[in-house]
């Protein structure tokens, strides 16, 4: 199958998933259902694209196919920042802030923190993947432990404010940040798309990329910043989803092995949309919310992660 046909097929499936999400099990009048579900649909699509794109970017600049931003603790860092904000401001002060402001500030800080923490690591990633994995896992545990510690320190009422954010949730999406998050995501996705040919070259390794006239360090930092922005979007919308990115990008590599990001980015994005929107439609409307989608995704994604680790860390 040619790249074009594959993309058409995946787009068709994605449209089918969206159609199902919008129309299955409608009981209320359409005038209410369409805008209500429409907002959620837009948020889900943004999350799907943000997760797949950030994973592709991160895997390219770290030269591996096992690590994802989520595994490296990016979203744990986001939750830590959020918890720090609640701890510092108090629950009331925090809830008094508009969600848009909270999102803007936490995203901004996350980008800076990610560049500082992971930026230095990337230079050595190629030489030492194991060290990178270990560092990521330790960071993840560290962020989660500090978060848990702070959550014990604060008032139970304030804890409730964080708890909403601390679990993956696809049913109750915070659509009130859509106004800010949607344009940011679109800009980040567009910039990632414009980097696609540079990413192809960067994935050849720093020396070869330099020989071909690319500046790998600079490209890595840009991709890392984009990753941080995209992670903060998805975490703000639905909380931490650990294995979604790994799952959809591994599927994309399996369906279409390609060195070109011009193909990889849309294939992974569409698979992500199909998984998230289709999965949510089936679980929410057909199976009646018996199982949260995040559990299913993390179960399957976790298995994929194990398989990849057991197969070896070769890129």
Partner 1 sequence: MIKVEGVTYQIVRQEILSDVSVNIPKGGVTALIGPNGAGKSTLLSLIARLMPLQTGTIHVDGQAIGQTPSDTLARSLAILPQASDIAPRLTVAQLVRFGRYPHSKGRPTPACLEKVEEAMMRFDLGALQDRMIDTLSGGQRQRALIAMSYAQDTDYLLLDEPLNNLDIAAARHLMKLLQTMARAEGKTILIVLHDINYAGAYADRIVAMRKGRIMAEGPPQSVISTQALAEIFDTDAHVVLQDGRPLVMV
Residues of this chain that interact with partner 1 (CB under 8 A) are 63, 126, 196-197, 200-201, 203-208, 210-215, 257, 259, 314-315
Q: What is the largest CA-CA distance in the chain?
A: 61
Across the chain, the runs of DSSP E, i.e. the strands, are none
Of 203 and 294, nearer to partner 1 (C-beta) is 203
Of 169 and 196, nearer to partner 1 (C-beta) is 196
Of 204 and 221, nearer to partner 1 (C-beta) is 204
What is the distance between the alpha carbons of residues 279 and 145, in angstroms, rounded to a whole number?
31
Of 114 and 252, nearer to partner 1 (C-beta) is 252
What is the distance between the alpha carbons of residues 246 and 29, in angstroms, rounded to a whole number?
38
Q: How far is the CB of 271 from partner 1 (least distance, A)?
A: 18
Of 4 and 194, nearer to partner 1 (C-beta) is 194
Question: Would you list the DSSP string of 265-299?
Answer: HHHHHHHHHIIIIIHHHIIIIISTTSS-HHHHHHH
Of 50 and 199, nearer to partner 1 (C-beta) is 199
Of 175 and 210, nearer to partner 1 (C-beta) is 210
Q: How far is the CB of 212 from partner 1 (least distance, A)?
A: 5
What is the distance between the alpha carbons of residues 49 and 105, in angstroms, rounded to a whole number?
22
Distance, first Cα to last Cα, the chain: 25
Of 215 and 285, nearer to partner 1 (C-beta) is 215
For 67, the token pair is: 């690590």
What is the distance between the alpha carbons of residues 53 and 266, in angstroms, rounded to a whole number?
9
Distinct helix (H) and strand (E) counts, the chain: 14, 0
Q: How far is the CB of 256 from partner 1 (least distance, A)?
A: 12
Of 27 and 314, nearer to partner 1 (C-beta) is 314
Q: How far is the CB of 270 from partner 1 (least distance, A)?
A: 21
278 Cβ neighbours under 8 A, 6+ residues apart: 13, 16, 17, 20, 21
Query: Running DSSP on this structure, what letter comes out for residue 8?
Result: H
Q: How far is the CB of 247 from partner 1 (least distance, A)?
A: 19
Q: How far is the CB of 261 from partner 1 (least distance, A)?
A: 10
Integer angstrom CA distances of residue 278 from 22, 54, 220, 251: 10, 21, 33, 16
For 188, the token pair is: 């980040």
* Three-point CA angle 231, 232, 233, nearest 5°: 90
Q: How far is the CB of 115 from partner 1 (least distance, A)?
A: 20
Contact in structure between 237 and 47 (CB atoms under 8 Å): yes
* Three-point CA angle 212, 213, 219, nearest 5°: 105
């Amino acid at each position: 199958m040619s790249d074009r046909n594959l993309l058409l097929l995946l787009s068709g499936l994605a449209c089918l998933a969206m159609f199902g999400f919008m129309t299955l099990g409608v009981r209320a009048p359409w005038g209410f259902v369409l805008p209500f579900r429409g907002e959620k649909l837009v948020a889900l699509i943004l999350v799907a694209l943000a997760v797949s794109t950030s994973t592709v970017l991160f895997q390219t600049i770290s030269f591996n196919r096992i690590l994802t931003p989520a595994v490296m603790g990016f979203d744990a860092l986001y939750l830590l920042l959020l918890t720090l904000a609640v701890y510092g401001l108090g629950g009331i002060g925090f809830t008094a802030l508009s969600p848009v402001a909270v999102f803007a500030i936490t995203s901004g800080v996350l980008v800076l923190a990610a560049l500082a923490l992971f930026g230095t690591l990337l230079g050595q990633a190629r030489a030492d993947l194991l060290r990178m994995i270990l560092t990521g896992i330790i960071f993840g545990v560290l962020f989660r432990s500090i978060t848990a510690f702070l959550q014990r320190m604060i008032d139970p009422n304030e804890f409730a404010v964080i708890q909403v954010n601390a679990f993956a949730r696809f049913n109750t999406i915070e659509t009130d940040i859509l106004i800010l998050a949607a344009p940011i995501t679109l800009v980040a996705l567009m910039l990632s798309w414009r980097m696609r040919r540079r990413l192809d070259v960067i994935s050849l390794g720093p020396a070869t990329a330099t020989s071909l006239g690319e500046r790998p360090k600079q490209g890595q930092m840009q991709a890392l910043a984009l990753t941080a922005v995209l992670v903060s979007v998805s975490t703000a919308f639905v909380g931490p989803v650990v294995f979604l990115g790994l799952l959809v990008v591994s599927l994309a590599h399996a369906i279409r092995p390609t060195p070109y990001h011009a193909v990889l980015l849309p294939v992974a994005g569409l698979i992500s949309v199909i998984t998230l929107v289709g999965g949510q439609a089936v679980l929410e409307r057909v199976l009646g919310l018996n199982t949260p989608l995040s559990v299913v995704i993390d179960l399957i994604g976790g298995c994929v992660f194990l398989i990849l680790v057991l197969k070896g860390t070769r890129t």
